[in-house]
Amino acid sequence: MKSIYLIVGLLVAAPAFAQRTDTSRDARTGGVREGAVQRAQTAEDPKQNSELKKLGQATKTSTHQLKKELHAAQTARPDLTFDDFVSVKKLAFDEGLKVQDIVNTMKSTKPTDLKQAVESLKKTP
Amino acid sequence: MRQLLLGFFLVAVLVGGGLAQDAGDYTVNLGMNFSDQARKQPTFLNKETVPSKVEYWLRSDLSLRVQSTLLISRESLPKMRNTGRGDAILGATYTLFDYDNDHPFGFSLDYQIKFPTAIKGLGSDQTDHQVTGTLYRTFSKGRLYTEFDGGAYIAGQQGRSDISTAQFSLVEIVGLGKAPAKGKAYKWKLLNETDYSPAAAGSPTSIVQINQIIRVFSPVWSIRFGPNYAITPYDSRFGFAAGIQYKGHFGK
């Protein structure tokens, strides 16, 4: 009986002993302060973010979607630079084509091959 | 507290916005934290938690988040365990200005309120508030990210007035390996966080160190994992945390 009283007493007293930030910390993913990892990812390349924002406004696409398209394009074609991607995206938007279709059709990242890829895709029904 | 909230939203409305994210962006996080007992606190025994977070950007500079400890399993006495739902948090972060070509550093304000949704014995049973300001920037062409956080944690007390304690953090995140080409991000990163709270109102000083390895698979998926340990004797002496993040966007 004595041990039950002791257990109940300790359980009731436990919150009083809890560390002041204890229960907030429980909700932190990875135990890390909120937003730090997210901010680090955003701040990694501010210049590129600014260029993506401009491209997004020109092509009515979110930065997140552009990053996804860039990642997919560079996975399919590792030699594709960021500037190549900007050209491909602008052309894809103007012609109503998908970036990935153009990237897959391009023989190389040369501007002439980019135009040829777009022409051949436009002819494809 | 009311003045603090009012001030936060006034600043959010009056100051120009940053470029941190797009409106419609969101993240979903799920994790698992383990913390060992404290060296000098007999009631603080092993604990496992499953934290979750959903954050949504209402504007490019303003995000709202809901955090919840989906499950806590805590050793209340040796060989006795209490398991159940944890506390829930509602928070907002406002980026006054982002680190970019026009600003040498970024600055954001964060407010969060913790609701005592945990089952008896797994939370403090009180509503807490936290206000934090964050100064951040990168160095070495984006390889080293640093941020300094300063703020206050206002813990509710049953039958007594709230206890306010200062909180400071220093976070460094280093990109590992060769610098990525333009348009690509570091695949592996190392995070180091030091949290410090000075002694106040009967609570002892707290210094906690967190280390994490971050693996970025794509702009959508990333994971992180690593140990944490306390330098001060009244915090969990050792712990391990892991988490997974999904990033998405509503709309085109």
**pLDDT digit string (tens) for A86-102?**
999 998 999 888 999 99
User: Is the pLDDT score of A16 beyond 60?
Assistant: no
CB-count burial class (<10 Å; 0-12, 13-18, 19+) for A107? exposed
Alpha-helix residue ranges (DSSP H) falling in chain B: 2-14
Return the closest-CA partner of residue B53 out of B82, B27, B86.
B27
Q: Which residue has the higher pLDDT, A123 or A73?
A: A73
User: Is the pLDDT score of A22 beyond 70?
Assistant: no
User: Is the pLDDT score of B68 beyond 80?
Assistant: yes
Percent of chain B scoring above 70 in pLDDT: 92
A73 to chain B, closest Cα gap in Å = 11
- Provide the pLDDT confidence category of residue B84 given band limits of 50, 70 and 90: very high
Distance (Å, whole) CA B150 – CA B131: 8
Could you give the maximum distance between any two Cα atoms of chain B, in Å? 58
Return the closest-CA partner of residue B44 out of B182, B189, B238.
B238
Question: What does the pLDDT look like over B235-248, one tens digit per residue?
Answer: 888 999 999 999 99
Average pLDDT value for residue range A100-108: 86
User: Is the pLDDT score of A109 beyond 80?
Assistant: no
pLDDT score at B17: 44
Rounded to the nearest integer, the mean pLDDT of chain B is 88
Residues of B in contact with A34 (CB under 8 A): 53, 65, 67, 91, 93, 110, 112
Average pLDDT value for residue range B64-93: 90
Distance (Å, whole) CA B49 – CA B31: 8
Inter-chain contact A24–B87, Cβ cutoff 8 Å? yes
What token pair was written down for B108?
């954001």
The residue among B184, B187, B207, B237 with the most chain A CBs within 10 A of its CB, best to mutate, is B184
Inter-chain contact B106–A39, Cβ cutoff 8 Å? yes
DSSP B22: -
User: Is the pLDDT score of B51 beyond 80?
Assistant: yes
Question: What does the pLDDT look like over B3-39, one tens digit per residue?
Answer: 555 555 555 444 444 456 889 999 999 999 999 988 8
The pTM of this model reads 0.83
Q: Which residue has the higher pLDDT, B54 or B156?
A: B54
Average pLDDT value for residue range A94-116: 85
Q: Which residue has the higher pLDDT, B162 or B111?
A: B111
CB-count burial class (<10 Å; 0-12, 13-18, 19+) for B157? middle
Inter-chain contact A18–B124, Cβ cutoff 8 Å? yes
Inter-chain contact B235–A19, Cβ cutoff 8 Å? yes
User: Is the pLDDT score of B53 beyond 90?
Assistant: yes
Distance (Å, whole) CA B20 – CA B58: 12
Helix, strand or coil, per DSSP, at residue B173: strand
What is this model's ipTM?
0.85
- Provide the pLDDT confidence category of residue A14 given band limits of 50, 70 and 90: very low
Residues of A in contact with B118 (CB under 8 A): 23
Which of B:78-137 have CB within 8 Å of A? 80, 82, 86-89, 91, 93, 98-101, 106, 108, 110, 112, 114, 118, 120-125, 128, 130, 132, 134, 136-137
Question: What does the pLDDT look like over B182-223, one tens digit per residue?
Answer: 878 899 999 999 999 998 877 789 999 999 999 999 999 999
